[in-house]
A and B are shown apart, each in its own frame.
Chain A
Amino acid sequence: MIRLFLRDMTLAVRAGGGFGLGLAFFLIVTVLVPFGVGPQSETLRIIAPGVLWVGALLACLLSLDRIFQLDFEDGSLDLLATAPIPLEGVVLVKTAAHWVTTGLPLTLAAPVLGVLLNLAPQGYFWVVITLALGTPALSMIGAFGAALTVGLKRGGLLVSLLVLPLYMPTLIFGAETVRRGALGLETATPLMLMAGITLGAMALLPFAAAAALRINLR
């Protein structure tokens, strides 16, 4: 399993692996929004939590179809399915690799980019916390969507359509936590709900994704 994780990381970092794609997209969104909104720093301050979260979510979405598609195309997925690792484990490991290459960099970049959006000083802490807790759910739900569409050529659009509604709760609670945190209000309820979604997704979706993969490999 560690082998698989290390391989996926190596592949992501090498040429054409798509590492940094999500990060670059996130950067572009957060740089462009202030230009689009205009120089009212008060308006920016209000929308900053939402923009950061939407940007992170879309950046995550961008690389989803890579999770299984490349392995499916070159036959590795067939071979992994017959290997001694359970397919659920494969799903979990590949999700973890996806998170480390997209969710984690997004989390770390968010406070820096928050400056561009004039995020309230109390908000920085909460942006990092919510993204750290929320992006694993985005990767996990995305892996499930990718598993459902793995046999399809150019399934990216379908993945997005399938996955976006499932991303809503995480987005709502994530952005709400940051908004409350930035205003200095109590944040426990939305934070716990979001963390609950993440834990639920990580507990259930590996099985669902593995089942979807098995059907698609037939």
Chain B
Amino acid sequence: MLPEAPFLLEVRDLAVARGGLPVLQGVNFTLAPGEVMVLRGPNGAGKTTLLRTIAGLQPALGGEITTDPETIAYGAHADGLKATLTVQENLRFWAGIYGTGEIETALDLFNLQDLRDRAAQNLSAGQKRRLGLARLLVTGRNLWALDEPTVSLDTASVALFAQAVRTHCAEGGAALIATHIDLGLEARLFDITPHRATFAQGDAFGDEFDDDNDGAFL
């Protein structure tokens, strides 16, 4: 591998599928260190599928993803928290898995110090989310692929998150974020709507899905 790769992530002519149906095609973009890219698109357009494909959780239908899988930290809708473990134990576990071991910065940045000995099951939805985002910091990875990271966060917490992303990028990291709200970050927008996979003749996507499924069972 090259020591100074110009891009953390390069996506060329990527096509992704969900449940066997193509959702996106011809996706091209690059992400350099220090950059934030925001994915936009209506519900069901394929943002999650695209992120999961880039994170390596599912194979691409076509095209190329050039990246080092060891640099990606994936943040999904679910935070991967264990209800009976405390905030501290949850974070320490992930820090151990990624071999970093340091959790204090993450606790500070997401304002979790006061909650550190509380079991995750007693946290509010927003506090859980903050803990899930703090996990990204303890992974020590460069490229964050985040799926709706601000769900159930209040304004102050969104600001904390934006600050964390800014710091992360200033240190040479990059972030790929699927979101609907304005994070107040300097970010490139990438609208995936034009890349939705097209069927033979179709404009209304939802109807096409139903028709196709019916056809499959006839």
Residues of A within 8 A of B (CB): 2-4, 7, 10-11, 14-17, 71, 73-76, 78-85, 217-218
Taking the closest CB of chain B, its distance from the CB of A4, in whole angstroms, is 7
Closest to A4 in B: B97
Among A3, A10, A11, the one with the most B-chain Cβ atoms within 10 Å of its Cβ is A3
A82 with B73, Cβ < 8 A, contacts A4-B97, A11-B85 known: yes
Residues of B within 8 A of A (CB): 55-59, 69-70, 72-74, 76-85, 89, 93-94, 96-99, 135
The 6 closest A-B pairs by CB, nearest first: A75-B78, A3-B96, A76-B80, A218-B58, A14-B84, A75-B80
Q: Is the interface of A mostly helix, strand, loop or mixed?
A: helix
Give the docked Cα–Cα distance between A166 and B59 (Å). Answer: 31
| CB<8 Å pairs between A and B, sample of 30 | A2-B96, A3-B96, A4-B97, A7-B85, A7-B89, A10-B84, A10-B85, A10-B89, A11-B82, A14-B85, A15-B84, A71-B80, A73-B78, A74-B79, A74-B80, A75-B76, A75-B79, A76-B81, A76-B82, A78-B74, A78-B76, A78-B80, A79-B74, A79-B94, A80-B97, A83-B98, A84-B70, A84-B97, A84-B99, A217-B58
Q: Is the interface of B mostly helix, strand, loop or mixed?
A: loop
- Which B residues lie within 8 Å of A83 (CB)? 97-98
- Which A residues lie within 8 Å of B59 (CB)? 218
- Which B residues lie within 8 Å of A74 (CB)? 78-83
Cβ-defined contact, A82 with B57, below 8 A:
yes
- Which B residues lie within 8 Å of A218 (CB)? 57-59
Closest to B18 in A: A218
Give the docked Cα–Cα distance between A136 and B80 (Å). Answer: 28
Cβ-defined contact, A82 with B80, below 8 A:
no
Cβ-defined contact, B97 with A217, below 8 A:
no
A84 with B98, Cβ < 8 A, contacts A11-B84, A16-B84, A78-B74 known: yes
A82 with B99, Cβ < 8 A, contacts A3-B93, A217-B58 known: no
- Which A residues lie within 8 Å of B73 (CB)? 82
Cβ-defined contact, A82 with B58, below 8 A:
no
- Which B residues lie within 8 Å of A80 (CB)? 97
Closest to B84 in A: A14
User: Contact check: which of A16, A17, A79 meets B80 at CB < 8 Å?
Assistant: A79
Cβ-defined contact, B57 with A81, below 8 A:
yes
